[in-house]
Amino acid sequence: MIWDRTETLPREDMELLQLERLKAVVRRVYQKVPFYHERFQERRLKPADIRSLSDLQKLPFTVKDDLRENYPYGFFAVPLEKLVRMHASSGTTGRPTVVGYTKKDLRTWSELVARVVVQAGVKPRDVVQICFSYGLFTGGFGLHYGLERVGATVIPASAGNTQRQIRLMQDFNTTVLVSTPTYALYIAEIAREMGVDPAGLGLRLGLFGSEPWSEGIRQELEAAWGFKATDNYGMSELIGPGVSGECHMQNGLHISEDHFLPEIIDPETGEQLPPGERGELVITTLTKEGLPLIRYRTRDVTSLDYTPCPCGRTTVRMRRVSGRTDDMLIIRGVNVFPSQVEEVLMDIAGVGPHYQIIVDRQGYLDEFEVQVELAADYFTGKFRDLETLEKTIQERLQNVLQITPKVKLVEYRSLERTTGKAKRVIDKRTL
Ligand code: DLL
């Protein structure tokens, strides 16, 4: 099922709609947001200079630091009394960024999340347990209103209290789980500890997002829960969840292009890259009232695919996000993405989906260690087997990364679990 006819617009019509909305948002930020007014003036740019979609490239980028420097309300394009909701990013790496929604923004948000959940396969008869935290984080409330919009029965369980999550699933006959992929793995572990087989709980669908996850983790989740696991993407600054999501083809995430105009740029030069090439995702919000953003650099790494999707939607698909431009580690001069490590690990039998990358510096030399948990049922009792496994992991990582990590196998359940986004990297060099 397709929630909104706009998702199937022919490309020319979509582009006309995008252009009309782009012109309107450019006019609005020029008039209402001093930051943009100044940036436009610096470039001697007037809203009337934006005549085609390719004129987008004339516009300045916006980065997270711009939002931070204008904390809390400097980017809002409407007076405060028009805002009806605030969310904020966690601010673990500096000042938080605050996002405000008008009534219309909240309606748009519900519609966009409705598209995402419907394309993943949610039906009005579903009982959906939301295990994202509710609060300043956009995950809980974002999914909540979109799911209610499509008529599903929502259980706002929030994150944590994991044994209770399983009892709720049993008592309320939950059919759909919404969480981070890592929390879904953890819930499955706790279920098994309680003597409950997660695959026997009768869930048919999992909607996962909010952090990067590999195809290997998808397989792990689908096997553990016996359901179909789909990916959806978003970020607080852009609206929250609801920017893009997979349809039942599980082959790329359809972007709601009538609301978010995407580009892929080379993060070094800022130049636009052609369709299919991997780079940094940049989004211009086309309809947001409270916090419109022009060419917002998400730092998320992906590529765009304009080929038709068999599901019937014509919207462009983004590949699963493989990481962020700022989570690339430079270890002994070599670029390492955590997602590369995950892909290698998920391909090796005997290790589970839990790992941590620890980087440190001794004198002038970087130290690079990968701690990997054994799979629940792996330990054979023979230490020789563990040594062999460690060697295999080390060699495969060396092949892919061109740098040799120290590999340490650790006991099942010894790495910290999380109910939200996983923390995969501890870089002690910057602590
Ligand atoms: O995580 C919004 C969200 C909530 C999306 C629930 C999906 C589901 P933030 O906390 O602002 O917002 O974090 C945004 O999380 O820039 C990505 O780096 C990462 N991210 C979000 N979804 C995905 C995904 C929410 N499906 C940041 N795959 C983004 C990979 C994701 N990374």
Please spell the DSSP secondary structure of 122-173, one letter per residue. Answer: --TT-EEEE-SPPSSSHHHHHHHHHHHHHTPEEE---S--HHHHHHHHHHHT
Over residues 88-124, the pLDDT tens digits come to 987 666 788 999 999 999 999 999 999 999 999 999 9
User: Which one of 211, 327, 424 would you pick to mutate in the ligand 1 pocket, going by the greatest count of ligand atoms within 8 A of its CB?
Assistant: 211
- In the chain, residues under CATH classification 3.40.50.12780 are 1-324
Per-residue model confidence (pLDDT) at position 311: 98
* 290 Cβ below 6 A of ligand 1: no
Contact predicate 359/367, CB 8 Å: yes
Owner of token pair 């636009």: 272
Contact predicate 247/122, CB 8 Å: no
* 298 Cβ below 6 A of ligand 1: yes
- Residue whose CA is at the smallest distance from ligand 1 atom 28: 212
Strand positions, DSSP E, 210-333: 228-235, 240-246, 253-255, 260-265, 279-285, 296-302, 304-305, 317-318, 323-324, 329-331
Contact predicate 290/101, CB 8 Å: yes
* 211 Cβ below 6 A of ligand 1: yes
* 7 Cβ below 6 A of ligand 1: no
Ligand 1 mean position to 119 CA, how many Å? 18
When mean pLDDT is compared across 49-58, 250-259, 370-379, the lowest value belongs to 370-379
Q: What angle do CA 297, 316, 263 make, to 5 degrees?
A: 25
Instruction: Give me the phi and psi of 362, to 5 degrees please.
Output: -110, 110
* 230 Cβ below 6 A of ligand 1: no
When mean pLDDT is compared across 94-98, 179-183, 273-277, 302-306, the lowest value belongs to 94-98
State the closest ligand 1 atom to the C-alpha of 324, by its place in the atom list counted from 1.
18
Structure token digits, residue 82: 């028009």
- In the chain, residues under CATH classification 3.30.300.30 are 329-430
Ligand 1 mean position to 46 CA, how many Å? 33
What's the chain's average pLDDT?
A: 96
Over residues 24-38, the pLDDT tens digits come to 999 999 999 999 999
pLDDT class of 380 with cuts at 50, 70, 90:
confident
* 352 Cβ below 6 A of ligand 1: no
Per-residue model confidence (pLDDT) at position 371: 97
- CA–CA separation, 289 vs 83, rounded Å? 9
Per-residue model confidence (pLDDT) at position 93: 62
Of 250, 370, 231, 290, the C-alpha closest to 28 is 290
Of 379, 371, 407, the C-alpha closest to 391 is 407
- CA–CA separation, 282 vs 5, rounded Å? 25
Q: Is the pLDDT of residue 431 over 70?
A: no
Residue 202 CA: distances (Å) to CA of 178, 205, 419: 15, 9, 22
Residue 297 CA: distances (Å) to CA of 134, 183, 326: 26, 27, 12
Contact predicate 291/80, CB 8 Å: no
Provide the 3-class DSSP secondary structure of residue 351. strand
Ligand 1 mean position to 362 CA, how many Å? 34
Question: pTM to 2 decimals?
Answer: 0.96
CATH 3.30.300.30 fits 329-430, yes or no: yes
The helices-and-strands tally (H runs, E runs) of the chain is 10, 21
Ligand 1 mean position to 99 CA, how many Å? 15
- CA–CA separation, 214 vs 222, rounded Å? 13
Higher pLDDT, 187 or 94: 187
* 241 Cβ below 6 A of ligand 1: yes
- Report H helices in 278-364: 338-345
- CA–CA separation, 406 vs 413, rounded Å? 20
- Residue whose CA is at the smallest distance from ligand 1 atom 29: 235
Over residues 118-171, the pLDDT tens digits come to 999 999 999 999 999 999 999 999 999 999 999 999 999 999 999 999 999 999
1-324: CATH number: 3.40.50.12780
* 242 Cβ below 6 A of ligand 1: no
Structure token digits, residue 78: 């409407």
Per-residue model confidence (pLDDT) at position 91: 66
Per-residue model confidence (pLDDT) at position 89: 86
